[in-house]
């Protein structure tokens, strides 16, 4: 029996992306799916394809990408196929062995964090110093900085809405005091406290650039200095206090505890130190 063929077109891709928008998927998710699906479209140049063609495409990916990246592309394509009723064409995701430790060269320590904050202050960049402290002391995402408003500073808590979920973020008293002083100095009333000169909320690229300028003065390796690493440091320190993974997941706004586990991975230095103390070698 002749195998069924199907043509991947731009109109089909756009219809599926519109469906994702109607399902209130995040803009970042939709944009990622767009890249993956158009990559598939370009691969076959609009010609009819069969399931075997998709399997060959999958095999080609395995020579170019890590399994986690491949799985991301497969999820996008599988959803696209299912939308058009081609459930039997969906491909299996590859298995990924869970990592116990993160790369030591990327693990930001508490001491290094304090050096970054001090370097920002020495450069006269009070905004950056407070942004670093706000993210690290609350565990919020860079995209959630916009919810740290003048009103939130006065209340000592912010209501964050991200990916369709709402959660309350409390500001530690010491941080609240600093933010109030910053607010008064800037004569800030309402709206996001941390903005660019044009009045737009700070984003990842703004912060990344400013943070990289601190590396040399703070004597911290550049590969450790990026905004999201502050969130990871918050997670490791909080988890080390009471070992409550579920509570940490709520604080970080994670739907899955498995995602939270990634945040508390350490480099293994402490684990190795414990092994050395066991004294099991004669």
Ordered by start, the domain boundaries in the chain are 6-89, 104-271
At 157 the pLDDT is 94
pLDDT at 261: 79
Which CATH code for domain 6-89?
A: 1.10.150.130
In what helix (H) or strand (E) does residue 75 lie, and over which residues does it extend? helix 67-83
Neighbours of 191 (CB within 10 A): 12
Alpha carbon of residue 154 to chain centroid: 28
Give Dmax over CA atoms of the chain in angstroms.
77
Distance, in Å, from the CA atom of 109 to the CA atom of 220, rounded to the nearest integer, reads 10
Residue keyed to tokens 């399997």: 55
Structure-block tokens of residue 198: 């044009």
Taking alpha carbons only, the member of 162, 174, 165 closest to residue 117 is 174
Average pLDDT per run of 10 along the chain, which is 282 residues long? 78 95 89 94 88 93 89 94 94 75 75 96 96 95 92 94 82 95 88 86 85 94 92 91 87 83 68 73 72
Residue 77 confidence (pLDDT): 96
pLDDT score for 45: 81
The pLDDT assigned to 1 comes to: 42
Residues in the chain: 282
Strand partners for 201? 195
CATH topology of domain 104-271: hpI Integrase; Chain A (1.10.443)
Q: What is the pLDDT of residue 95?
A: 84
Distance CA 114, CA 98 (A): 31
């Amino acid at each position: 029996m002749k195998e069924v063929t199907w043509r991947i077109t731009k109109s089909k891709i756009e219809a599926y992306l519109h469906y994702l928008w109607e399902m209130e998927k995040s803009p970042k998710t939709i944009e990622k799916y767009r890249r993956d699906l158009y990559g598939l479209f370009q691969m076959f140049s609009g010609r009819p394809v069969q399931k075997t063609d998709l399997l060959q495409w999958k095999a080609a990916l395995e020579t170019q990408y890590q399994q986690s990246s491949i799985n991301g592309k497969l999820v996008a394509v599988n959803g696209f196929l299912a939308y058009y009723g081609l459930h039997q064409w969906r491909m299996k995701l590859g298995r990924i062995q869970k990592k116990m430790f993160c790369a030591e060269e990327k693990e930001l320590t508490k001491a290094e964090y304090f050096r970054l904050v001090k370097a920002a202050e020495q450069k006269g960049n009070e905004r950056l110093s407070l942004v670093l402290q706000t993210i690290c002391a609350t565990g919020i995402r860079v995209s959630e900085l916009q919810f740290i408003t003048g009103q939130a500073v006065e209340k000592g808590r912010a209501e964050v809405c991200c990916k369709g979920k709402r959660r309350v973020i409390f500001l530690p008293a010491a941080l609240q005091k600093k933010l109030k002083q910053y607010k008064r100095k800037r004569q800030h009333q309402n709206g996001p406290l941390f903005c660019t000169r044009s009045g737009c909320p700070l984003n990842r690229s703004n912060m990344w650039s400013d943070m990289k300028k601190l590396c040399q003065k703070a004597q911290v390796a550049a590969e450790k200095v990026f905004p999201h690493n502050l969130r990871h440091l918050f997670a490791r320190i909080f988890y080390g206090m009471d070992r409550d993974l579920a509570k940490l997941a709520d604080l970080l706004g994670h739907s899955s505890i498995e995602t939270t586990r990634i945040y508390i991975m350490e480099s293994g230095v402490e684990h190795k130190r414990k092994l050395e103390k066991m004294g099991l070698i004669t």
